[in-house]
Chains A and B, each alone.
Chain A
Amino acid sequence: MKKDPRVVFGRCMMLGLAWTVLAFLVVPMAIVVPVSFTDQYFLSLPKEGLSLQHYAAFFEKDIWISATLDSLIVAIASTICALFLGTLCAIGCWRLASNRAEMVRTFMLTPIIVPTIVQALAMYRFWIDLGIMDTYFGLILAHTLIAVPYVVVTVSSSLANFDVRLEQASRNLGGSTSQTIRWVIVPSIMPGILSGALFAFTISFDEIVVALFITSRNVYTLPKRIWDGIQDHLDPTIASIATMLIAITLALLLTELWARQRQRAKRTARIDIGGE
């Protein structure tokens, strides 16, 4: 059957448009990479030759290393806290499955909709009263609160596909609540927990507005350093950091892709065997 020319035309238009938009998305990344190899001492494209000095600067300068460490400490700690709180909350709500539990789950989403500047202002004020301004604890607490909703969402959607009967079976076999959660529920909702962890980690690692408000000198995260770098002297180290982050993201995505393909290959193989 010959294809309707209008369909072909529409399809070409659609694909063209979609890829244009995607190209628009990727363009800024394409620019950051060459900038990171600049031979100048301010952010710009390389003029006379390529240079690795800004990569070296990242590893040599204390300020960048300590900022990275601060960011890692805060991101890891708040991810763990958010995972713990968020997963338990999601499991509780899911199991109760009542209207009130539903309301609780909706309530937990508040930080997603509150504009960042508003929550920064609110936390700033309260953190002074608590005396936890500019402490690791203060920032970890703030980031935990911001990240919890994302964990609740991802874990809840994982739980939606989980068979309640498995849980009941575990109980019937005499498993306590904590045993059931630990050995039955958590393993089977692992994908949700992991993607929640990924969300929580990146949110904290990237967070700037709240950090600007509630930390000053003791806690100095990477985004804050980058912010200073842009404000103060357009330090090309920023571009080298961005390039490294892009590379890491790329690596993670590719690994995930590869793992998924392998899994699928395995599954197909199994089905094939089963079919024979």
Chain B
Amino acid sequence: MSLIKTLYEKDLYPEIEDSAESDFARDCIQIASERLAKGEIDRRTFMKAIAFLGAAPAVMTLGGKTAQAAEEVVVVNWGGPAVEAYTQAFGVPFEKATGVKVVIDGTGPLGSKIKAMVDANAVTWDVCDTGTGTTLVLEKQGVLQKIDYGIVDKSKMQEKFAYEYGCANYMFSFILAYNKTKVPSAPTGWADFWDLEKFPGYRTLRKQPNGMLEACMMAAGKDKDSIYPIDLDLAIGKLKEIKDYVIAWGSGSQSQELFRTGEVIMGDIWHTRANLLNQETNGDVTWTWEQGIVTAGMWNVPNNNPAGTKTAMEFIASAQDPEQQLVLFNAMGNGPANPAAAAQVPDDKKYIDPGQPENLAKQVLQNGPWYQEDSGVRNLTNDELSREMWLDALSS
């Protein structure tokens, strides 16, 4: 239950839904601010770490000078420490290579705001850091430019996350986390999560169905390749089986709190939060990548962006550089989207990278477009219908 801060902007464009996955970006920022605040990483170390990594020679794949000779490119993300992290990770290298200044704007690229700008013909943003859901909704509204895969390299991301109007910026996962002092043996997948006899105790699932329905499907015995299209009745039926032992989490910190206080023994939560718990509990809380659900943060370019299409695409291409993605990974925990970055992740951090080949092999890539398809019921999309059914089942 997070009342979105700029509710009223959404209202101007009610058809734009800010899908819940932008919550992840915000949650990462929350984590980083928290770590800064409690002195786990002090500000100087944080800056030094990202500055050091960011200053490493970036391998540029850009073709010479930019045609429009834009002076700056404005990149919008969710603010807080992410402004510094993005500046160091993506801004500095791009500036060095092209001379184009990069401005990181932390206002928060709400879908409704992007739509408002485009409609008013007053676009001030060049590149936006959104999610799969927002990308697809904005695509329907005709607000975005196609990603120019002549400039952006499709092979530098999971093909499934190379949408026509958006492409992967980083990756994150919903995984099965568990407290190993409270389970008889390590659960190995969602079937175990649903096994109340073998693993008695409370579990936590998210208040919204995104990332949970996939787990339900796998618990129902579907293998990783046959999850989509999700059979909502089947998935919700699975939720009902265990709902008496489910506590729902709303924000990332809530999911963490439920483990911390021992209220739950298992949960379907974000890998970044699982990692924090792992550190905090000296390894008592851990997770399996098995049957995790990977999804991606997305780059979007709105129509008529001030710096021009080419510069924006070039920025995105530049940000595909593995070194740069590693900087972001180190600072914020967002998994690199470029498979080539996987090899460069230090060995002691491989276990927290959803994109490592051995981790990726165990997981499912989320099919974002399915959520925006028509459900066939009361003109609702699958996303809308599943939210309703999920809430219904949880509260029944």
Contacts and interface: CB of A to CB of B under 8 A. Distances in A.
A and B touch in the complex (CB under 8 A): yes
A214 B11 CA distance: 12
Contacts of A214: 8
Contact of A231 (B34, B38, B251, B260): B251
Nearest to A128: B8
A188 to B, nearest CB: 45
B251 A232 contact: yes
Interface string B16-41: 00000000000000100110011000
B3 interface: yes
Contacts of A212: 3
A3 interface: no
B30 A217 contact: no
A233 B6 contact: no
B34 A216 contact: no
Nearest to B29: A232
B257 A216 contact: no
Contacts of B33: 233
B37 A41 contact: yes
A64 interface: no
A233 B34 contact: yes
Contacts of A217: 5-6
A234 B37 CA distance: 13
Interface in A123-174: 124-125, 127-128, 133-134
A37 B315 CA distance: 47
B395 interface: no
A231 B253 contact: yes
Contacts of B2: 231
A30 B250 CA distance: 27
A213 interface: yes
A46 to B, nearest CB: 15
Contacts of A128: 8, 11-12
Contacts of A41: 34, 37-38
B37 to A, nearest CB: 7
A216 B254 contact: no
A216 B250 contact: no
Interface string A207-222: 0000011101100000
Contacts of B30: 232-233
Contacts, number: 41
A156 B253 CA distance: 47
B8 A124 contact: yes
Interface residues of B, number: 20
B67 interface: no
Interface in A238-255: none
Interface in A194-236: 212-214, 216-217, 231-234
A134 B8 contact: yes
A258 interface: no
A249 B207 CA distance: 37
Interface in A1-49: 41-42
A133 B8 contact: yes
B6 A216 contact: yes
Nearest to B35: A41
A234 B6 contact: no
B120 interface: no
B7 interface: yes
B5 A216 contact: yes
A127 B12 CA distance: 12
A124 B7 contact: yes
B253 A216 contact: no
Nearest to A211: B3
A232 B253 contact: yes
Contacts of A213: 3, 7
Nearest to B12: A128
B111 to A, nearest CB: 15
Given A41-B34, A41-B37, A41-B38, A233 B253 contact: yes
Contacts of B5: 216-217
A213 B12 CA distance: 14
B228 to A, nearest CB: 31
A41 B38 CA distance: 6
A216 B251 contact: no
Given A41-B38, A42-B257, A42-B260, A231 B8 contact: no
Nearest to B33: A233
A188 B34 CA distance: 53
A31 to B, nearest CB: 14
A216 B38 contact: no
B208 to A, nearest CB: 14
Q: Max chain B CB contacts within 10 Å: which of A212, A213, A232? A: A232
Nearest to B252: A232
Contacts of A232: 30, 251, 253
A234 B280 CA distance: 15
A95 B5 CA distance: 46
Given A231-B251, A233-B253, A216 B260 contact: no
A212 B5 CA distance: 8
Interface in B255-305: 257, 260
Interface of B: 1-3, 5-8, 11-12, 30, 33-34, 37-38, 250-251, 253-254, 257, 260
- A-B complex: 7 closest residue pairs judged by Cβ atoms: A41-B38, A216-B6, A233-B253, A216-B5, A212-B3, A133-B8, A231-B251
14 contacts: A41-B38, A42-B257, A124-B7, A125-B11, A128-B11, A134-B6, A213-B7, A214-B8, A216-B5, A216-B7, A216-B8, A231-B2, A233-B33, A234-B257
